[in-house]
Chain A
């Protein structure tokens, strides 16, 4: 039959050139990878080695041992610090979702002019350094602070300041993380087309059903990203818990600093750092999986 078809199937011979373009990608990430290895992985490995190889008290010979970790988990104060850190982190992240989703939904769907004002206000904490925030909150929420005086003026007494309480840390950490939370959630919600929402409304779904059955599942990836990065950020927070938090229990960041500076216990601080790092690494893994799965689905 058709000659033309058979003739086009003959492969064209082309001068093969070596393709070096794959190198460009590696060259681009080389510097960040080097910095990461030098500043994060290398010290992390050193810390791990330092905490796992313990010199024998009598002979002085170092050997592989979990004794540093056993010591950590036997110390009631340190375990309380770890649990406290979990508690603060989970409460703050839960609050961030409770505050962040309504704001993100408003910014995604509102057509009013007020939305741009809300957007600016939401992003405002991004431009306030943590130290400034901490002192502002002390001024505002501290005992005999502005809020206390204001309440007094209206006859309310018995205000108990959250300063130096877990609540104070949580308020400040939530305030600090709202911009990021709302930005990422809004971006996720913006990927849901209007017609997707309208067709759900059309078949009879009310606003709550649309949120639970359509918007939440479709913005789940953003929610996981928000969860992971907030957990990692808050779990390892230092400035705010240091300035606003209670003396006991304290968050891991403060605990490490104290162990290192006040007790001069370098290995003890390292052990706490490794435990913090391991927990964050697990959450980080969840983040990486979510992001790479998203890439694959889009490809």
Chain B
């Protein structure tokens, strides 16, 4: 059993001046179950690596606690924590052979030679590098080096595996392959893993749950499918997958976008600061009443479907703004579409956000329980059918 709990984890970095303190991580609370694969996802500088380094003991939290199996580890140095970390790069010791890199930790624990030998060979086999033990790191490719780093971490049988963007220096194909290997290994040995990445595809394909971070805050913690279908904040909506986001004006039970209008969902409070988010696959193309009239500007063939960029002047009032904010639409290839074609779009499903659920700058201004619409409200357009499989 190895569970992780972060309680109010906060990290401030002091700047050059005494007054200039940056909040790298702000009040993170989450718990990770035994054998779970958690991805911490966010843009660079969002505090995800700092969070991981506080779990591993490489940064000291300003406040808050890190509990592993219910016991606080926050006062322990990294060498005494039951965690093992795989770093982004330069992780192997260049003057030691692969064998010695992996055996180093075991030797520090004074294990006997035969035992060390067996465990080093087992872990090399686990990462698919049997026979590489005599090589030096410089004789390995980037992918092989990271696999040795993984073997070196796993050989110590840690309670928790921490990975800090371990594949970000590898080329795309290798990244995907190593990601799949890591997934298989993690499932096989059932170790609790925390994986930091800025690559949403990596997070979506690896994680049991994803923690999306932005500006030091935890924006959303959910299963990948939930994060995609119900992004809790505008930031997550924009960051995960592709999303069309339109600011709207509310009048009664209608939300106005330029000359068009969408139904306001029931229970929506507030008049201003509202936005509507529509996924590119959530459009239908029949010329019904109130459909958005546009012209296809560009089509991009993406294999099994087609991405279409549509200029809808009516949404913005003028041509230039419409050109700058082309509507992104995914179309099945069975539907004919060429640049210059006229097209009618109707959102079949959209999410409505009020800006209180979005612009959270610090915990002081965050009053989500008191404000209306802390969560986005989903609307499935009843006028259009056949899209309700979600």
Contact of A200 among B58, B83, B93 (CB under 8 A): B93
Give the residues in chain B near A213, CB-CB below 8 Å: 104
Per-residue interface assignment for chain A, residues 160 to 182, with 1 indicating a CB less than 8 Å from any chain B CB and 0 otherwise: 00000000000000000000000
Q: A202 interface residue, CB < 8 Å from B?
A: yes
Closest to A209 in B: B108
Q: B309 interface residue, CB < 8 Å from A?
A: no
Give the residues in chain A near B93, CB-CB below 8 Å: 196, 199-200, 214, 218
A interface residues, how many (CB within 8 angstroms): 17
Do the beta carbons of A199 and B108 come within 8 Å of each other? no
Inter-chain CA distance A176–B365, complex, in Å, is 59
Q: How far is the CB of B210 from chain A (nearest CB, A)?
A: 25
Per-residue interface assignment for chain B, residues 52 to 63, with 1 indicating a CB less than 8 Å from any chain A CB and 0 otherwise: 000010100000
Interface of A is mostly: helix
Q: How far is the CB of B287 from chain A (nearest CB, A)?
A: 48
Contact of A199 among B77, B80, B83, B87 (CB under 8 A): B87
Inter-chain CA distance A213–B107, complex, in Å, is 12
Do the beta carbons of A203 and B87 come within 8 Å of each other? no
Do the beta carbons of B94 and A203 come within 8 Å of each other? no
Do the beta carbons of A205 and B79 come within 8 Å of each other? yes
Do the beta carbons of B156 and A204 come within 8 Å of each other? yes
Contact of B108 among A195, A196, A205 (CB under 8 A): A205
Give the residues in chain A near B91, CB-CB below 8 Å: 195-196, 199
Inter-chain CA distance A203–B153, complex, in Å, is 7
Do the beta carbons of A203 and B156 come within 8 Å of each other? yes
Give the residues in chain B near A198, CB-CB below 8 Å: 58, 78, 85, 87
Inter-chain CA distance A249–B337, complex, in Å, is 98
Q: A217 interface residue, CB < 8 Å from B?
A: yes
Inter-chain CA distance A198–B59, complex, in Å, is 11
Q: A206 interface residue, CB < 8 Å from B?
A: yes
Interface centre among A196, A198, A209 (most CB of B within 10 A): A198
Q: B43 interface residue, CB < 8 Å from A?
A: no
Q: How far is the CB of A118 from chain B (nearest CB, A)?
A: 19
Inter-chain CA distance A99–B105, complex, in Å, is 30
Inter-chain CA distance A199–B102, complex, in Å, is 11
Give the residues in chain B near A193, CB-CB below 8 Å: 90
Q: B84 interface residue, CB < 8 Å from A?
A: yes
Contact of A201 among B79, B95, B152, B153 (CB under 8 A): B79
Give the residues in chain B near A200, CB-CB below 8 Å: 93, 104
Q: Given A196-B90, A199-B149, A218-B94, do A206 and B79 touch, yes or no (CB 8 Å)?
A: yes
Closest to A218 in B: B95
Do the beta carbons of A203 and B108 come within 8 Å of each other? yes
Closest to B164 in A: A195
Contact of B105 among A204, A214, A218 (CB under 8 A): A204
Contact of A203 among B84, B88, B95 (CB under 8 A): B84
Interface centre among A196, A204, A214, A218 (most CB of B within 10 A): A204
Give the residues in chain A near B153, CB-CB below 8 Å: 202-203
Give the residues in chain B near A195, CB-CB below 8 Å: 87-91
Q: How far is the CB of B50 from chain A (nearest CB, A)?
A: 14
Do the beta carbons of A204 and B108 come within 8 Å of each other? yes
Give the residues in chain A near B90, CB-CB below 8 Å: 193, 195-196
Interface centre among A199, A201, A202, A209 (most CB of B within 10 A): A202
Inter-chain CA distance A204–B90, complex, in Å, is 18
Give the residues in chain A near B83, CB-CB below 8 Å: 202
Q: How far is the CB of A111 from chain B (nearest CB, A)?
A: 10
Q: B188 interface residue, CB < 8 Å from A?
A: no
Give the residues in chain A near B80, CB-CB below 8 Å: 204
Do the beta carbons of A203 and B104 come within 8 Å of each other? yes
Contact of B56 among A202, A204, A209, A218 (CB under 8 A): A202
Q: How far is the CB of A221 from chain B (nearest CB, A)?
A: 11
Inter-chain CA distance A53–B152, complex, in Å, is 65
Given contact pairs A203-B104, A209-B108, A218-B94, enumerate 16 new A-B contacts (beta carbons under 8 Å).
A195-B90, A198-B85, A199-B85, A199-B87, A199-B91, A199-B149, A200-B93, A201-B58, A201-B78, A202-B84, A203-B105, A203-B156, A204-B156, A205-B105, A205-B108, A218-B93
Interface residues of A (CB under 8 A from B): 193, 195-196, 198-206, 209, 213-214, 217-218
Q: Show 12 residue pairs from A and B whose CB-CB distance is below 8 angstroms, ordered by the A residue.
A: A195-B91, A198-B78, A199-B91, A201-B78, A202-B56, A202-B153, A203-B79, A203-B108, A204-B105, A205-B105, A209-B108, A218-B93
